[in-house]
Structure 1
Amino acid sequence: MHQVIEKIRGGLVVSCQAYPGEPLRHPETMAQMAMAAVEGGAVGIRCQGLADIAAIKGQVKVPVIGIWKEGDEGVYITPTLRHARCCAAAGADIVAIDATGRPRPDGLSYADTVHALHDEGVITMADCGSFADAERAVEAGTDIISTTLSGYTGERLKTDGPDFELLERMVKAFPDMPVLCEGRIHTPDQLHRVMECGAWAAVVGTAITHPTTITRWFAAKL
């Protein structure tokens, strides 16, 4: 097991992302958010975009999981080999990639992409939307599998919280594979349950680093 993957074992990875047009959308701001998360106990950071990856990597000592989103439909999380290579070049310790079976813009399969990246020494993480995605990713030789896209590809219902069912199935089926739980972890209690299910680590974003959404949760109770 690569030491970078070992560093996040049993811990909390915080996703620091802001969407286009939002007040916090700036690499320096995301780097500050990442630093604050690390001070709070985060063992890793997930972030989006080359500028953010570089800025955050320059400010934290924990592993950085990098992605590059292109659009917001179909395969848009690190959709091509070029995107993945750029994330690695920007400083990402781990590159997360859409691992669904949907057509990729460059015509390569997820397996093709993983093999090319492994030849270059890049650690890969498979963002899965279903158990079938996880199976293909493991067969492709990916380093990490995650529940990131569960509920967003049409293959599984979007649960109110984490997709515990998918997580448990992945953990049981692939006992030697690091399985990360990501997606809709909104409370510490949910995080605790995720870890009890056997997750290698958990990724929490919105509930920690997206104040607009958090404010809406509170405002909705007024």
Structure 2
Amino acid sequence: MNKEEIFKSIKGSVVISCQALPNEPLYVEEKSIMYLMARAAKMAGSPAIRTNSVRDVIAIKKETGLPVIGLIKIEYEGSEVYITPTMKEVDELVDAKSDVIALDCTFSKRLNDESINDFIKSIKEKYPDVILMADISTYEEGINAYKCGVDMVGTTMNGYTPQSIKENINNLELVKKLTKEIDIPVIAEGKIHYPYQAKEMLDAGAYAVVVGGAITRPLEIAQRFINAAKGEI
């Protein structure tokens, strides 16, 4: 699919994030099982999948035939960002034929103090046709990523960076602010645990919603029920 076709397919929909990190119960070192989660997501009607790692991008595309928003989570010493932080990860995702590449576009410290503006510029120079999803945490970061030429802005990192914690704005309000100022898709992502919240995001102007932990992370889901039973909501 080209960009217009992908955007048309996800508009007004819920994109399911299917990820499992090495410390999580559904992570299997020998062979990823995330393609099974993606199979279920497709059966439920998800028009696209967001996933982490080259192996999951490849497996999920093969299993579902759906467009994939790919990313690579990796930590580097001296860097505060971990979602597709360097060109190495971008190269790997391009080679894996990820339809969209998601990357941290916050103002957090990057490797070698590279600015996010320079990183986006480098990506677009090397891969002029790449579709980029900017994972941001604040309104200012969203506006900046938009001005740098990304294709989508997602609220993924809101509440996970010092600057967004200080700003103290929830994702619903962040979506409302961004959609008034930019003319590219604003994707609501993060802390969406219930169906009514997804609907609220779409009603607030979100182009689409990404939901992960509430659907594909059974440990988190089980903990919410157990904590509720204990009165620890």
CA distance change for structure 1 residues 33 and 162 in 2, over 3 Å: closer, same or farther? farther
Higher mean C-alpha deviation, range 160-169 or range 60-69: 160-169
| DSSP-derived class of the 2:162 partner | coil
CA distance change for structure 1 residues 159 and 20 in 2, over 3 Å: closer, same or farther? farther
The alpha carbon displacement at 1:114 in A equals 2.6
Q: What runs of 5+ residues in structure 2 fail to find an aligned partner?
A: none
What RMSD over aligned residues (CA atoms) do the two structures have, in Å? 2.2
Which residue, 26, 31, 50 being the options, matches 2:54?
A: 50
Contact 1:127 1:147 (C-alpha < 8 Å) held by counterparts: yes
CA distance change for structure 1 residues 161 and 107 in 2, over 3 Å: closer, same or farther? closer
The alpha carbon displacement at 1:19 in A equals 2.1
Measured in 1, the distance between the counterparts of 2:52 and 2:92 equals: 12
Please give the per-residue CA displacement for 1:65-101, whole angstroms capped at 9, x wherever unaligned: 0010013971101001221121121121000010012
Q: What runs of 5+ residues in structure 1 fail to find an aligned partner?
A: none
Contact 2:155 2:175 (C-alpha < 8 Å) held by counterparts: yes
Measured in 2, the distance between the counterparts of 1:128 and 1:80 equals: 16
| 1:185 counterpart = 2:192 | yes
CA distance change for structure 1 residues 42 and 159 in 2, over 3 Å: closer, same or farther? farther
Measured in 2, the distance between the counterparts of 1:211 and 1:159 equals: 31
Partner of 1:35: 39
Identity of aligned residues (%): 36
Contact 1:7 1:63 (C-alpha < 8 Å) held by counterparts: no
Partner of 2:171: 163
| DSSP-derived class of the 1:167 partner | helix
| DSSP-derived class of the 2:225 partner | helix
Contact 1:161 1:184 (C-alpha < 8 Å) held by counterparts: no
Contact 2:159 2:168 (C-alpha < 8 Å) held by counterparts: no
Using the size of structure 1 for normalisation, the TM-score is 0.92
Using the size of structure 2 for normalisation, the TM-score is 0.88
Contact 1:94 1:124 (C-alpha < 8 Å) held by counterparts: yes
Measured in 1, the distance between the counterparts of 2:221 and 2:18 equals: 14
Aligned length in residues: 221
Measured in 2, the distance between the counterparts of 1:5 and 1:74 equals: 30
| DSSP-derived class of the 1:157 partner | helix
Contact 1:66 1:87 (C-alpha < 8 Å) held by counterparts: yes
| DSSP-derived class of the 1:220 partner | helix
Looking at CA atoms only, which structure, 1 or 2, has the larger radius of gyration? 2
The alpha carbon displacement at 1:107 in A equals 4.8
The alpha carbon displacement at 1:182 in A equals 0.3
Higher mean C-alpha deviation, range 117-126 or range 136-145: 117-126
| DSSP-derived class of the 1:103 partner | coil
The alpha carbon displacement at 1:21 in A equals 2.9
Please give the per-residue CA displacement for 1:22-58, whole angstroms capped at 9, x wherever unaligned: 2311353101111111101111111011111111111
Measured in 1, the distance between the counterparts of 2:124 and 2:94 equals: 11
Higher mean C-alpha deviation, range 130-139 or range 69-78: 69-78
CA distance change for structure 1 residues 112 and 161 in 2, over 3 Å: closer, same or farther? closer
| DSSP-derived class of the 2:57 partner | helix
